[in-house]
Structure 1
């Protein structure tokens, strides 16, 4: 091996992998589209590989090579572990699971160089001179333990290992679990050896041939294979001659330089496997972006028709009927708000009568403001209904239902927005009255200024503004009264007031769409969300 490779693995690659870890953690998959669950599981495995093996190992290449004995329940891992050390170190027996606490054996002279990480955190450390120098031998819990905590620990320790010594039996080597574990090891580029335990001597040749064929079919023909014959029921350690081939093999890795070679080979294998993992994640992130793009388009497609319908509803004058008309009729009959004298186009009244009408018109103003608020709210509700149809009906884009999750705050927010908008609109009516003198001065009607002054005296500024708002809202009674006291002075201004309300309900439609789209306004769904991963991918390919 090139002497510069180790240096490169220790420094340059550590920086690249550290950056990769950060970007993989950031690359979340928020949309529940097809394949997202599988991609998320792969992302989590990649993070585990980076956190539990690559980064700790790259940070300290001089640490002993970690060899983990892994396998299914009852495979004889603990007995094999103890037999290799020639001492009962890890509990073995017929009760399952026996390996409740992982055990890692390290030569006393290697303890200080063992890298802190999952191995030191999860396993009980045993100093033992039977462990080859430059290696750490670990007995892990069962991969198929009925205790979920044990299964999780076993997988964490596998991710942290430099070499997997996978233990299975003649009776169970055809099960799915051993091959799933071996596929996982190959996927992450780990170095692997296999122990076939409890093999009947009369079937040894047949089973060995079958197992070698299976390994070859999976592209693993070079995996070291050790056969341990069946010795029948027994307690304690195996005869040293049965485990001697494994012991010799471990001896080949003994010593700092040889174990370092194993470590670097596993690291290179793991690094070589990373581009495929990252490319899979890149594809998943980009699929999320495509789905988000389709959802945004689906939402935006609703907006033009919804805005047209909302504007049309306002411009038709429908909001000025119903409760507004009823309130005007009530005030006309009980408070005489429409009974004014107009001579030669100018309203004649007393100041006292004008104040009384202005006070009475407050009730009408409340009704007008409420009607305007309802128009805004109704625009939002109709838009939500249209969006629900588009996002959950036939032909809806994937994950559309996510945007329709009921938000208990949305109805309250929509009502508050409607009331605020209606209040702003009513204040425009007040501003219009404030500009009435200017409009009158610019009118070709030479009596316009007298008309404006008379109307303001008859209803007060706020009362007159209420009548203008009612007219803009579409109430015919208000329109007739305004025409009677002001004539053509405010025609353009009332049209502008009506258009402004139409604009506000159109904005309410856009706001409703924006509220629905807000779930898509996250960095993970940005157009360039996969860009950092592609940079890391390019760096990995240069290194490998």
Structure 2
């Protein structure tokens, strides 16, 4: 659409109004959607660039593409005391914008528009932020704006100045012979070059005796920065004065503005700036693509670090619960208490089969409720302990010496995570204890398949002696590693209990390993966001390909 040799296609206006507008609109959507959640070294700079790109799209490209017939916006910009307002008034030959020694003089941006162009001025930052002045002195097809100081001590003024610059079709940058070497003018010019804006420069208040030296030095600086074709206007120093400059001092700038007068000439400026802005977009987008992909690479590395912790922690957790240590301590104490007060171990077993009454069995079952509670609490603590140990290991590798970039930021809040871990452990312990009930309910069938001839009778006797819930509790305590319950279960069931206990131990080990995985998942969940997906940059790459086809 834009000529490959630098010319503009005859149909560019129509094409810019439709196809290019669609591409830029889609680009704006995808740039807005791109986020950089991990605070790695490059993120802050990339985010600032992303915001500048959004400003360029919102404040210049999209409004301009939507209405090409609107006047070309020429913004006078510069630092404090550069004389922008005086120059603005002198170009219009009338005191329109405040000028004086008080700073900041330009508190309210002013935009001058020829009366016959007012109706074609597109709504946007220019009309929203500036006071509109109809003036015959403004060349047709242009809108001349006096913007606040770029280095104003008022942050609101600085923000407005930058917004207006983003909305401009042409920057008329004003600096002085005393301050052109400052960083600010060149930062502004670099920014204009970055976004492909058309630029002209006014060097104000140049002492006549220094004209040759200053002009030569400034031209050299501009050439070094690739700006040798930027128009340069010199305004000689007239000393302290009030009011307008003499007409002859600003005549070169007025003639230059006059060259852009008329709808067709201003359209050329607009299209040239659009072409420059569109041509600059691929580099901006490529920079954002690189930043998004660097985020993805960092997330990939963080996932690997988290994953590396899991196997060792799962092995340690399994070993801990299978060692039987969980069955001692509070579980053993509670069993001993019940054996002494409720005599739960006093069961007559004759010929391998428990002999008791149903009433005695119900009493034992009721007595074992407190043991069941202790068993479940102990299992829950084992799951929580596995999670805590894993959290400590993860914190060591993600926040300790040699930790990867952004590692500490993906660690969850300790207090909130402790509550989640406790609730999860309790639910898993309850689920594990239900398995014991299922195993007891299936015990008659399992006993029938057992090679021991009296296995069905032993199972039936054990269930009668302790009830289904009580017998399940003894199996759970045995699976945890309690020796007292193990001896009682062996008296009651012999080999019939082996498979049930083995299954409960296996399930316990699986759940404690799951606690480790759950802890890792709680950390990795911070990475499970679209911005860190492998294809997060894909939409931007599509837009990049479309932009490159346009230029």
Partners of 1:247 and 1:377 in 2: CA distance: 78
Tell me the residue number matched to 2:297.
Answer: 290
Distance (Å, rounded) in 1 between the aligned partners of 2:228 and 2:125: 30
1:223 to 230, 243, 252: 230
1:277 paired with 2:295, answer no
Residue 471 of structure 1 pairs with residue 478 of structure 2: yes
Gaps of 5+ in 2: 1-7
Give the superposition deviation at 1:6: 2.2
1:203 aligns with 2:210: yes
Aligned equivalents of 2:493, 2:220: Cα separation in 1:
101
Is 1:110–2:117 an aligned residue pair? Answer: yes
| Residue number in structure 1 paired with 2:397 | 390
In structure 1, the residue corresponding to 2:80 is in which secondary structure?
Answer: coil
Aligned counterpart, 1:239: 246
- Asked whether the 8 Å contact 2:412–2:522 carries over to 1, the reply is no
Q: Which residue of 2 aligns with 1:339?
A: 346
SS in 2 for 1:409: helix
What corresponds to 1:12 in structure 2?
A: 19
| SS class of match (2:473) | helix
1:533 aligns with 2:533: no
Q: How many residues align?
A: 544
The residue matched to 2:403 in structure 1 has which SS?
coil
Q: What is the 5 A alignment of 1:77-96?
A: 77-96=84-103
Give the SS at the match of 2:361.
helix
Instruction: Work out whether residues 74 and 169 of structure 2, in 8 Å CA contact, stay in contact via their aligned partners in 1.
Output: yes
SS at match of 1:234: coil
Contact 1:103 1:123 in 2 (8 A): yes
Partner residue of 2:510 out of 490, 493, 503:
503
Alpha-carbon distance between aligned partners in 1 of 2:444 and 2:412, rounded to the nearest angstrom = 52
| Mean Cα deviation higher: 389-398 or 325-334 | 389-398
Shift, 1:2, TM fit = 2.8
Whether 1:326 aligns to 2:319 is no
CA contact (8 A) 2:344 2:364 kept: yes
State the 1:310 CA deviation: 1.0
Aligned to 2:31: 24
Question: Are 2:194 and 1:190 aligned?
Answer: no
Instruction: Please give the alpha-carbon distance, in whole angstroms, between the structure 2 residues aligned to 1:407 and 1:480.
Output: 42
Matched, 1:521 2:528: yes
- Hey, what's the Cα distance between the residues in 2 that align with 1:429 and 1:435? 10
Please tell me whether the aligned partners of residues 439 and 490 of structure 1 are also in contact (alpha carbons under 8 angstroms): no
Instruction: Note the C-alpha offset of 1:260.
Output: 0.2
Question: What does the per-residue CA deviation read over 1:393-413, in whole Å, with 9 as the maximum and x for residues that have no partner?
Answer: 233221101112424321111
Distance 1:224 1:34 in 2: 38
Matched-pair contact (CA < 8 Å) for 2:410–2:524 = yes
Aligned residue number for residue 300 of structure 1: 307
Paired residue for 2:410? Answer: 403
8 Å Cα contact 1:135-1:259 kept in structure 2: yes
Aligned counterpart, 2:493: 486
1:452 correspondence with 2:459: yes
1:245-294 Cα offsets, whole Å, 9 max, x none, are 10110000000000000000000001111111111111111111100000
Report the TM-score, using the length of structure 2 for normalisation: 0.98
TM-superposed deviation, 1:446: 2.0
Match of 1:280, SS state, is: helix
SS of residue matched to 1:488: helix
SS of alignment partner, residue 281 of structure 2: helix
Q: Secondary structure at the match of 2:203?
A: strand
Aligned to 2:69: 62
Shift of 1:315: 1.0
Deviations 1:455-497 (A, max 9, x none): 1111111111100111111111110000001111121111011
CA distance in 1, matches of 2:82, 2:205: 9
Distance 1:39 1:445 in 2: 74
| Other-structure match for 2:149 | 142
C-alpha separation in 2, matches of 1:156 and 1:408: 43
Q: Which residue of 2 aligns with 1:151?
A: 158
Give the whole-Å Cα distance in 2 for the aligned partners of 1:453 and 1:526.
57
Displacement of 1:69 after TM fit? 0.2
Q: Check conservation: 2:115, 2:134, Cα contact below 8 A.
A: yes
Tell me which residue corresponds to 2:468: 461
Q: Give the Cα separation in 2 of the matches to 1:83 and 1:444.
A: 111
DSSP 3-state at the match of 2:496: coil
> 2-side partners of 1:405 and 1:223: how far apart?
54
Which piece of structure 1 moves more, 71-80 or 449-458? 449-458
Write the deviation string for residues 56-104 of structure 1: whole angstroms up to 9, x where unpaired.
0011000000000000000010011111111111111111001011000
Map of 1:311 onto structure 2: 318
Tell me the equivalent position of 1:414: 421
The one-character-per-residue Cα deviations of 1:150-171 (angstroms, maximum 9, x if unpaired) are 0000000000000000000111
Contact kept in structure 2, 1:392 and 1:401, CA below 8 Å? yes
Give the counterpart of 1:430 among 437, 440, 451. Answer: 437
- The answer to whether the 8 A contact 2:38-2:295 is kept is yes
Q: 1:135 to 1:514 in 2, by over 3 A?
A: same
C-alpha separation in 1, matches of 2:33 and 2:402: 31
Q: Which secondary structure state, in structure 1, belongs to the residue aligned with residue 244 of structure 2?
A: coil
Q: Which of 384-393 and 463-472 deviates more?
A: 384-393
Q: How does 1:122-141 map to 2 (within 5 A)?
A: 122-141=129-148
**What is the DSSP-based 3-state SS (H/G/I as helix, E as strand, rest coil) of the residue aligned with 1:490?**
helix
The DSSP-based 3-state class of the residue aligned with 2:264 is helix
The alpha carbon displacement at 1:176 in A equals 0.4
Take 1:119 and 1:344, find their aligned partners in 2: how far apart are those partners?
Answer: 100
CA contact (8 A) 2:30 2:540 kept: yes
- Structure 1, unaligned runs of 5 or more: none
